[in-house]
Amino acid sequence: MNYNIRGEQLDVTPALREHVEKKLGRLEKYFDNMDNTDCHVTLRVIRDEQIVEVTIPLKGLILRAEESHGDMYAAIDLVVEKLERQIRKYKTKVNRKNRQNGSIKEMNEEIRLDRDLAEGEDAGEDEFEIVRTKRFNLKPMDAEEAILQMDMLGHNFFVFSNADTDQVNVVYRRKDGKYGLIEPE
């Protein structure tokens, strides 16, 4: 893995860098080839809280986790545990789905999303200012796989290309904890 470790309001010491690389290196056992995979790690301190954020874009999947703790090393350990749980959950669902379908679907496109969703602020009463624009490839998938991706990213909604209808759809998490699907007419 190629590690991109950056610190916000703290210096990334060689010992801290070594700890991050050692702990995140444990994730390589879950995948066949992660040699060219980028791993983005942000370490930050906000009011005595040590926050670790990790994003690993893989082919057809984005792993992302964030944890905070009073100790930076403990926060790193917690975020790695969270990523391992996500990977196990994802692999279990994929294996279960493959057994049901009888074949393995190839994941052929890479989805790239940042952790922040586009947020706009009112510029005036009748005007809206777009402060961020995102572009990403829409991978054909079914609604169940889109919900899995949304949960893995920790987002409240996910835009995808419906493999059955070839249309752009949105899945979202409702306030009651269930999921919704938005389809064009």
Indicate the residue among 101, 131, 151 that finishes a domain: 101
Whether 140 maps to a domain, the answer reads: yes
Query: What is the pTM assigned to this prediction?
Result: 0.55
On whether both 46 and 85 belong to a single domain, the answer is yes
pLDDT in tens, 47-90: 888 999 999 887 777 888 999 899 999 999 999 999 888 888 88
Whether 53 maps to a domain, the answer reads: yes
Whether 54 maps to a domain, the answer reads: yes
On whether both 85 and 9 belong to a single domain, the answer is yes
Using CA atoms, how far apart are residues 15 and 18, in angstroms rounded to an integer?
5
On whether both 9 and 96 belong to a single domain, the answer is yes
Residue 75: its pLDDT value, please? 92
On whether both 33 and 95 belong to a single domain, the answer is yes
Q: How many domains does the chain have?
A: 2
On whether both 127 and 68 belong to a single domain, the answer is no
Whether 111 maps to a domain, the answer reads: no
Give every CB contact of residue 107 below 8 A, 6+ residues apart in sequence.
59, 60, 61, 139
Whether 115 maps to a domain, the answer reads: no
* CA count, 13 A, side-chain hemisphere, 1: 25
Residue 115: its pLDDT value, please? 30
Whether 113 maps to a domain, the answer reads: no
On whether both 53 and 134 belong to a single domain, the answer is no
Distance of CA 154 to the CA centre of its chain: 7
Q: Where are the beta strands (DSSP E) in the chain?
A: 2-8, 38-46, 49-58, 61-69, 121-122, 128-129, 140-141, 157-162, 168-173, 179-182
On whether both 128 and 72 belong to a single domain, the answer is no
On whether both 12 and 95 belong to a single domain, the answer is yes
Residues with pLDDT less than 50, the chain = 103-126
On whether both 94 and 130 belong to a single domain, the answer is no
Q: How many CB atoms lie within 10 A of CB 113?
A: 17
Whether 116 maps to a domain, the answer reads: no
Residue 98: its pLDDT value, please? 65
Whether 108 maps to a domain, the answer reads: no
Pairing of strands 61-69, 121-122: unpaired
Instruction: Indicate which CATH number applies to the domain containing 140.
Output: 3.30.505.50
On whether both 93 and 142 belong to a single domain, the answer is no
Residue 90: its pLDDT value, please? 80
| 158: containing domain | 121-182
On whether both 90 and 51 belong to a single domain, the answer is yes
On whether both 43 and 131 belong to a single domain, the answer is no
Instruction: Indicate which CATH number applies to the domain containing 21.
Output: 3.30.160.100
Residue 43: its pLDDT value, please? 92
Q: What is the DSSP letter of 47?
A: T
Pairing of strands 140-141, 168-173: unpaired
Q: What is the largest CA-CA distance in the chain?
A: 56
